[in-house]
Chain A
């Protein structure tokens, strides 16, 4: 019997409408729970564990994570169809790492396309290429994070090296999908000009890159760490100055690739 993709279940922790910085146009972002990385700057720490969690704020608990069907998700995503149509927007899968729930992600993308929506994924790219390959035909835009070119530093900060990420970047770049590279710029991790330059050099070897987005580190997620009973490890880090981030952007632009600050 053929599976009805609308009945496929997965775990999400939010659907955010009117997102205008994560892919083209006006979009709804579906946040899938669970990630293989543990980036200490992550502004959605509640996205990292696959398990359903409770965040405690103002002495009130809030359950994070819900198992839902594709049908349920799409019924909400569909509500903003008028705005997608007018803005060339659509649905973006984010996380966590949406590819950690490959069947669910596939079903969501496929059914979204089935009803005429454009799709995008925000991904770390750190999964086996087979998974990526299966999803690609159902995706219009990939927003892929490249955090650092040095595999040792990558592993030191994030817990895993960047081998898979770079490998997948090369392969996705060869596919028909539109690829945008995003770099979260974090002081002490990758904010030196040479670190950004290395990433840009790599990106230049990829065919048909749309753009590089530099996403400056911010602290808006800090309180959520406490709410989850975790320590925030970057308390000592100050966000980048506008001047500094502008200098880094110039590195991108000077290389001949389109760049922008923020998504």
Chain B
């Protein structure tokens, strides 16, 4: 559905920019990898922070640059639109292995030329044993590595990539430019005395920062030169003028402070893009764009220097550019983060440091920009509190109604106190923005490690049933024979014990990775824009930030609440099923046969056993073994027995229907993850804090999870975020929202994610928008923290699955971000289609 009308005219330029962006499959380019390798070879043996600064400077000096047709805001990380650079210093072996398949894979394919493949293979030779990933692995306990192998949790994000997940102090750079920042660095450098205890680290760090900032300023000048060059040969007078203006802009920013809205836009873009050349971390989030850009807008509008339409066009151009950046991930992570998302979260409205409403004209124009471009980036968010203007809410929900899955809504009334509880000052807490999917933090002061891992809360329950063993290996701890447990409390305690053990290992994994980043990849450029790195003379990786957190996400609450409640009801309260029967049912996947993954696993095990016995196994025999494994089924009687059990389970009340007893259970289950985690510290001197959301990992990680006692079959997706299990919330959207609101969102201060799917009919007309606003307000009144919506009909999605070529730009909300539907894997597409659709009747 298209927006009914634009409030500010859309420049025809915007559709053309969008069109060009999606003409081709995105491409992997090798320039950055080559340049960083060259620099590293030259700096062998030098302090790591020096090497990082020099490498960054070498890259910016030599990486090819381009100005795309018709753009007003310039600066591209790659020559091809939506292309990506690669970052061998973090990890490379996965891409090396996938070089030949990355073009043909299901989720997020990338084109790569034969030349680039050759180049990368050459480059990778240098990096063996030198990556953060390899160092992190070597720091982990064997038990931790085993837990990762067994998919209890996955710290894949930072294990293989840069950390990202940060909002730097954009406002400051817009104001004083990098020259101003460099002065601060030099002043701090002067203060260092040779005898200071931190003299060595601090001076090296400050030197690396200075080198990086100089390189960034030079990079801006390269664009000024290029713009003049192109202008000279440009025959179109209007374009020529545009190019000359671009040249002027780039001569000034980002080196100096911005003097106009246009310069501020250009300066913003350099910051945003260059952070993503320094490191491969995603979720580099612009944050409160409407706040730090407003002074420039206001001044230009009041002086008549700019029209509202042109200001909007510039913002639209930035929105397009945010979709120009891209990142290749390994095949498994691509499933987990599907949709080419970079999670650049930009948030509008909310309150200021003093607690007044801060909604301004740009807040509205941010929403308008997303309406104009209709693309997944930026991940647009809005802050909502009691004084949010109703007109602004109406504007926001009218964007929601388009079905683009934006914006996501955040509740100041929950998030501010939850941040206070984590030690932020009141002013900082009020000034929060969102990182990536749903993670709140204070910009310019925080290194939040917001996406530190995915923790599958279903897996420890499987360990209870297997007494800690899987595939003959000890993965968890021994909590005793489950069939001999006499009370529900005993069973629940066993679950908590397995949880605690796994959380311990999770922390070990994350801290190992943390140390690896500190030792191998400190980031001087990023650190220069996070307080108090310059004063402390430390990168964020060494704990230079004011606020330091590690936030791994738990998911599967709905499944665990429903599972534990079913066990309690059927086994212990009503005694309709014995634990032994339940255990067998789970092992047999309720008589529904083994899922594909399990068949592969069994086949592999058998084949390996035969090989280890020195037997030869031919392909024909492998097929036979697989067929046998797949047909390892159940007799008719057993099948009937399991059908009866599934029916019993179906009859037990489920989370998501506003039923007090079950919801209280869910609240408690969430605590089994959020509470133990709070006590741990990270190597940067900060604390752990839980999030409750899965991005889209609930689908691939669900595929690695056996049957659960809530009747979920093996391999099926696990519930999404704090949302009820798909199809189990049968009492309408308000009941689902009420259940979710009963969880303690305040303690999950790294964010919670509630996904609701609405049919467009529920939002039609002005009344529809009013009711929708009321729905969000009602959920927030009850202290829900975040909500987002998919507004798209089932038919549309089925059509898009059949004819992806016609739906290239269909955007859906996946989990904490919007993605291109056709770029998702088939299984994730199915999951979205099959989720309960809350249609207002």
Contacts and interface: CB of A to CB of B under 8 A. Distances in A.
B762 interface: yes
B781 A82 contact: yes
Contacts of B733: 18
Interface string A66-81: 0000000000000110
A16 B781 contact: no
Nearest to B776: A86
Interface in A1-43: 16-21, 25-26
Interface of A: 16-21, 25-26, 79-80, 82-83, 85-87, 89
Given A16-B841, A18-B732, A86-B781, A79 B774 contact: no
Interface in B761-790: 762, 767-768, 770-771, 773-775, 777-779, 781-782
Contacts of B595: none
A114 B458 CA distance: 45
Nearest to B777: A86
Nearest to A27: B771
Contacts of A26: 734, 771, 774-775, 778
Given A86-B774, A87-B771, A17 B731 contact: yes
B738 A20 contact: no
Nearest to A88: B774
B735 interface: yes
A107 B838 CA distance: 31
Contact of A17 (B734, B768, B771, B781): B734
Nearest to A17: B732
Nearest to A22: B841
Contacts of A17: 731-732, 734-735
Interface string B730-742: 0111110010000
A20 B735 contact: no
B767 A80 contact: no
B841 A80 contact: no
Contact of B734 (A21, A80, A85): A80
Contact of B774 (A16, A19, A83): A83
Contacts of A79: 658, 734-735, 738
Contacts of A87: 770-771, 774-775, 778
B228 to A, nearest CB: 56
B840 interface: yes
Given A17-B734, A18-B840, A80-B734, A85 B778 contact: yes
B162 to A, nearest CB: 42
B779 to A, nearest CB: 8
Nearest to B658: A79
A6 to B, nearest CB: 19
Given A17-B735, A20-B762, A86 B778 contact: yes
Given A87-B770, A87-B774, A82 B735 contact: no
19 contacts: A18-B732, A18-B734, A18-B775, A20-B768, A21-B840, A21-B841, A25-B770, A25-B771, A25-B774, A26-B771, A26-B774, A80-B778, A83-B775, A85-B781, A86-B775, A87-B770, A87-B775, A89-B771, A89-B774
Contacts of A80: 734-735, 738, 778
A79 B733 CA distance: 12
Instruction: Report the 4 A-B pairs with minimum CB-CB distance, sorted nearest first.
Output: A87-B774, A83-B778, A86-B774, A82-B778
B733, B734, B762, B770: most-surrounded residue (chain A CB, <10 A): B734
B184 to A, nearest CB: 47
A85 B777 CA distance: 10
Interface residues of B, number: 23
B223 to A, nearest CB: 49
Interface string B701-734: 0000000000000000000000000000001111
Interface in B800-841: 838, 840-841
B731 A19 contact: no
Given A21-B840, A26-B771, A26-B775, A16 B732 contact: yes
A26 B781 CA distance: 15
A82 B740 CA distance: 14
A83 B768 contact: no
B388 to A, nearest CB: 12
A85 B771 CA distance: 11
B767 A20 contact: yes
B734 A20 contact: no
Given A82-B781, A86-B777, A87-B774, A20 B840 contact: yes
Given A79-B658, A79-B738, A20 B731 contact: no
A70 B309 CA distance: 57
Contacts of A18: 732-735, 775, 838, 840
A83 B777 CA distance: 7
A86 B772 CA distance: 10
A87 B734 CA distance: 13
A16 B733 CA distance: 11
A19 B841 contact: yes
A82 B838 CA distance: 18
A79 B731 CA distance: 12
A149 to B, nearest CB: 29
A245 B351 CA distance: 47
Contacts of B775: 18, 26, 83, 86-87
A231 B779 CA distance: 43
A18 B775 CA distance: 9
A83 B734 contact: yes
Interface in B600-659: 658
Nearest to B737: A83
A86 B781 CA distance: 9
Contacts of B658: 79
Contacts of A89: 771, 774
A85 B734 CA distance: 13
A106 B838 CA distance: 32
A238 B731 CA distance: 31
B172 to A, nearest CB: 38
A114 B838 CA distance: 31
Contacts of A86: 773-775, 777-778, 781
A25 B841 CA distance: 13
Interface in B435-486: none
A30 B450 CA distance: 45
B768 to A, nearest CB: 7
Nearest to A83: B778
Contacts of B781: 82, 85-86
B33 to A, nearest CB: 52
A42 to B, nearest CB: 16
Contacts of B774: 25-26, 83, 86-87, 89
A41 B778 CA distance: 35
B771 to A, nearest CB: 5
B732 to A, nearest CB: 4
Contacts of B773: 86
B791 to A, nearest CB: 14
A86 B782 CA distance: 12
Contacts of A19: 840-841
A26 B349 CA distance: 26
